[in-house]
Structure 1
């Protein structure tokens, strides 16, 4: 139940970010067309929203099996080595995601005091996307770890997920 709520909240945040980005870009295009003037901060904010969407959606993409993977070697191994390979893959993913949370936090700490050009907000608000996104990846991976070790895959993409990606 908690996992479903976690996934739903993750998805709704992405929906809201995408809606905000679309509204800002649409308003900017309409304003530019009608008045020959544009919203000064629209491009910048849309770019930062896209950065946040990229990091926040990575865990859902991992969960749905939509990230690039090399499965040829893994698929050709006998059962016991395949399980060891899955354990090694899982360990590498968890260590990498954990390290990226730390690296993102370090980068945020060093560079976050600068201000964005148009909106004059601290870059830290944008740089938070990296540790938060990799933290979500870490949580999604931990939630799927047992299934991955047993079955050798994360969740399969549902028809709705595939249709959403294809547009």
Structure 2
């Protein structure tokens, strides 16, 4: 893995870890306060929900990078190697097209939602919806980094911390 890719994956991973940790602390504190003092943090549920949205979109690129998304691969398995590579090229073009469309449409949607405010925290919904173009851009970058190995050998990245093929065989 080259330097850019290593730092990119590490940054993405730490963003996920910090989001999940912060979300867990907020929810735990809210539940503890609710049962111990009969009062809760008014904004906790809303903020945790928004963090979950960001977690989902930021994490989708990492999951795709390691081959963790559901895929129907029977068609390419039925054909010889050159034809299956051609099928993967078509799939790659369609995926990249979708990721680019997701990024652009998400950006437009984010701009339109900047005038509507959330109920508890009163921040523009555009900041929550910004997870869509951010996630789309991350998907583009992650997919571009594994594209060659995906097309030639249907291989994704491997990592000691995440092995999608091991969990699929359980």
Q: Which runs of 4+ in 1 moved over 6 A?
A: none
Kindly provide the CA deviation profile for residues 59-111 of structure 1, in whole angstroms up to 9, marking residues without a partner as x: 11001111000011111111221111111111001000000001101111112
Residue 58 (structure 1) aligns with: 60
Check whether the contact 1:64–1:155 (CA below 8 A) recurs between aligned residues. Answer: yes
The yes-or-no answer on 1:41 pairing with 2:43 is yes
Structure 1 CA distance for aligned equivalents of residues 9 and 16 of structure 2: 11
Shift of 1:162: 4.8
Which residue of 1 is the match for residue 138 of structure 2?
136
How many aligned residue pairs are there?
163
Equivalent-residue separation in structure 2 for 1:65 and 1:55 (angstroms):
16
Q: Which runs of 5 or more residues in structure 1 are unaligned?
A: none
Residue of structure 1 equivalent to 2:162? 161
- Normalising by structure 1, we get a TM-score of 0.93
**Cα RMSD between the aligned structures?**
1.5
Cross-structure match for 2:83:
81
Give 1:153 shift.
2.7
Give the C-alpha shift of residue 112 in structure 1: 2.4
- Name whichever of 52-61 and 76-85 sits farther off: 76-85
* Equivalent pair of 2:112/2:126 in contact (CA under 8 Å): no
* Structure 2 gap ranges (5+): none
The question of whether the paired residues in 2 share the 8 Å contact of 1:90 and 1:145 is answered with yes
